[in-house]
Amino acid sequence: MKIKFFATGGTIDKIYFDALSTYEIGCPKIKDILTEALVNFTYEVNSLTKKDSLDLNDRDRNKILNAVREEECRRIVITHGTDTMVKTAQTLKQVKGKTIVLTGAMAPASFKITDAQFNLGLAVAAVQTLPSGVYLAVNGRILNPDRAIKNRERKMFEKKYG
């Protein structure tokens, strides 16, 4: 089995430089996390953008959409900033016949206390077991992007009702 990972930036790959929160999006942390976890599957990592998700625009989303469409692998995990993850996931619902899981983190993967590794592991499990479709893997839950919302105060995703 092979899993394709696309990195788009977001907090998971942020590198902070000072107390005033000056940062840049660094190289994808996916390979480091998977290497440390001693995973036993074939994978490939491609970086599509290095942006905070608030800076992603429709052109970026189309780039992500086209990369997923053109990818031969049917199991795809996308690391993404949490602020606009739902919007990108909804864009990707156009793709049929693939299992696509978006994940991210509320704190950078390089921080001592972070949800990055847990969320990436959840996404890996989800992409291997779920049927084709588009999902979010965050906060210990698999969510339908049409029924998910980020609660900034609680720093987590919740099921949206109504």
Distance CA(126)–CA(100), nearest Å, equals 9
pLDDT score, position 22: 76
Distance CA(117)–CA(122), nearest Å, equals 9
Q: Describe the chain by its helix, strand, coil percentages, rounded to 5.
A: 30, 30, 35
C-alpha pair distances (Å), 140 with each of 81, 96, 107: 17, 25, 15
Mean pLDDT per 10-residue interval, the chain, length 162 residues: 95 82 87 96 97 94 98 98 96 98 94 95 98 97 95 90 72
Residue boundaries of the structural domains of the chain: 2-144
Pairing state between β 2-9 and 42-51? parallel
CATH superfamily assigned to domain 2-144: L-asparaginase, N-terminal domain (3.40.50.1170)
Q: What is the DSSP letter of 153?
A: T
Nearest to 157, CA basis, from 110, 111, 122, 124? 122
3-state SS class at 85: helix
Distance CA(62)–CA(115), nearest Å, equals 28
Tokens of residue 80, six digits: 């993404």
In tens, the pLDDT along 14-26 reads 988 776 677 888 8
pLDDT score, position 106: 93
pLDDT score, position 101: 98
Q: Under a CB-based contact definition with an 8 Å cutoff, are residues 10 and 81 in contact?
A: yes
